[in-house]
Amino acid sequence: MSDKENSGIPDDESREMTDTQAAELEAARTEIAQLKDQLLRKAAEFENFKRRTREEKDLLMKYGAEGVILDLLPVIDDFERSLSSGKEHPDFEATYKGVEIIYGKLVRILENRGLRPIDAVGKPFDVDYHDALLQIPSAEVEPGTVLDVAEKGYMLYEKVIRHAKVTVSRESDATSMETDR
């Protein structure tokens, strides 16, 4: 063995390796610092994105009905004019016609916004569109047919927003007695 090996002092080759390793270590540390900085920036950008999205959603929720309300304001004005006219003129025919016109305007506005009534009378009972209030025996129509609507149901586009409250036919007592015989 040589004196250099025994002394524990690295020779030139070992020293070069150590210098190479030190350079690689320094490059890795620099890259780690850059990646850490990039990660912190991305995390901050994501937090800002979440905050902006939340604020936009809050504004949408707050002012989302603005279009509908703006469309309904003329209807409110018409109601107010009709009511003040009703006070001044006891002619109920004119008041009725005014209210009828206002009703038509309101219905058109809501239909333009996707609202439509559920057609129920004479149709088969369907739990997806109707709520049955009561059943009445009837020999004139098939059992399970909607006879009357107590409260109109409505759909907003393809979604039921209020079920129609209906009266439904069932077998008449005379028909069920004949079948039992």
Residue with tokens 């040589």: 2
Q: For residue range 146-156, list pLDDT tens digits in order.
A: 999 998 899 88
Strands 164-170 and 146-151: antiparallel
Provide block-wise average pLDDT over 10 residues at a time, the chain (181 residues).
52 66 92 96 96 91 75 78 71 78 87 89 94 92 92 88 93 60 49
Query: pTM for the whole thing?
Result: 0.54
Give the HSE-up count for residue 90: Cα atoms under 13 Å, Cβ half-sphere: 0
Three-state secondary-structure class, residue 27: helix
- Give the tens place of pLDDT for each residue, 60-75: 877 777 777 778 778 8
